[in-house]
């Protein structure tokens, strides 16, 4: 019987982990699967690891849920599935614990644009690796929702929509000013905050269209954007999710 656990590792801890894993000498299998791997391909790859059968469905669910691809290390002493912070582009099988591609994915100091936004507050940043090199954080007036009905509620809602429009317009202008010199130099781009507000911002500000091919999974659980929230978001962006199985 297998016991599973999940945890997150930042870049340095994961690099240290794979360095140790690379030194392990035993019969094992490594799988690299990009996020666009089909279900039939996934089944074909997983069939190559017979000892995975008791937890195959669990592994399969993890693979399907990942937006960046998965790395699987499977051997007698280590049974791991890693969802890296940046997208994998390769699909292949290797013998042993082959960490080379994962290490190559994590080592560069990518330049990343970040926009965190909820109605009434925003935080924008550019990072090189895990270091913020530029940032801008601010607030704007957007009244909360009114629950009462009637004509006054309708007027209040129109005023709130107008406030939200002007607020997001300002956020777009601040982002353009901060990011324009780095736009073509960015490796990745990340949104965070409230999903509907992010969608509204992207729809309202055409400037962001240039980053559509560089998007990382959004950060939808961040609180009201402040500078300390932006700093934590950088750590979150660089963290990998790890699933581990151990035999009882």
pLDDT along the chain (248 residues), means of 10: 88 96 96 93 92 92 95 96 96 95 97 96 96 93 56 62 85 94 93 96 94 96 94 97 90
For residue 158, give both structure tokens. Answer: 């129109």
CA-based nearest residue to 208, from 134, 132, 114, 127:
114
pLDDT at 172: 94
User: What contacts 24+ positions apart, CB below 8 Å, involve 137-145?
Assistant: 137/225, 137/226, 137/227, 137/230, 138/170, 138/174, 140/166, 140/167, 140/170, 140/171, 141/167, 142/167
Instruction: Give, in degrees to the nearest 5, the angle at Cα 126 between 143 and 121.
Output: 10
pLDDT at 163: 82
Cβ-in-10-Å burial (0-12, 13-18, 19+) of 106 comes to: buried
d(CA 133, CA 111): 9
For residue 132, give both structure tokens. Answer: 């913020």
Please report the domains of the chain, with CATH numbers, ordered by start residue: 2-107 (3.30.960.10), 111-237 (3.30.420.60)
Sign of the dihedral defined by the CA atoms of residues 170, 172, 173, 179, in that order: positive
Question: Which residues partner with 189 through β-bridges?
Answer: 113, 215
pLDDT at 166: 87
């Amino acid at each position: 019987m297998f016991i599973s656990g999940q945890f997150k590792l930042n870049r340095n801890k994961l690099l240290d982990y794979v360095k140790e894993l690379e030194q392990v000498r035993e019969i094992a299998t490594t799988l690299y699967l990009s996020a666009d791997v089909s279900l039939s391909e996934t089944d074909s790859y997983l069939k190559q690891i017979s000892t995975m059968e008791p937890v195959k469905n669990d592994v399969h669910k993890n693979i399907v849920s990942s937006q960046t691809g998965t790395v699987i290390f499977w051997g007698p002493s280590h049974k791991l599935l890693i969802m890296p912070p940046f997208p994998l582009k390769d699909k292949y099988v290797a013998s042993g614990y082959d960490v080379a591609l994962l290490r190559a994915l994590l080592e560069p100091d990518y330049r990343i644009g970040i926009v965190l936004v909820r109605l009434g507050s925003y935080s924008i940043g550019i990072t090189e690796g895990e270091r913020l090199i530029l940032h801008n954080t601010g607030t704007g007036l957007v009244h909360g929702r009114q629950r009462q009905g009637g004509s006054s509620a309708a007027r209040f809602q129109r005023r709130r929509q107008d406030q939200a429009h002007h607020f997001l317009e300002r956020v777009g202008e601040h982002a353009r000013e901060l990011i324009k010199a780095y736009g073509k130099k960015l490796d990745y781009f990340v949104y965070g905050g409230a999903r509907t507000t992010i969608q509204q911002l992207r729809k309202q500000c055409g400037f962001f269209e240039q980053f559509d091919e560089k998007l990382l999974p959004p950060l939808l659980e961040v609180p009201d954007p402040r500078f300390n929230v932006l700093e934590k978001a950088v750590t979150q962006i660089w963290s990998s999710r790890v699933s581990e199985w151990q035999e009882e």
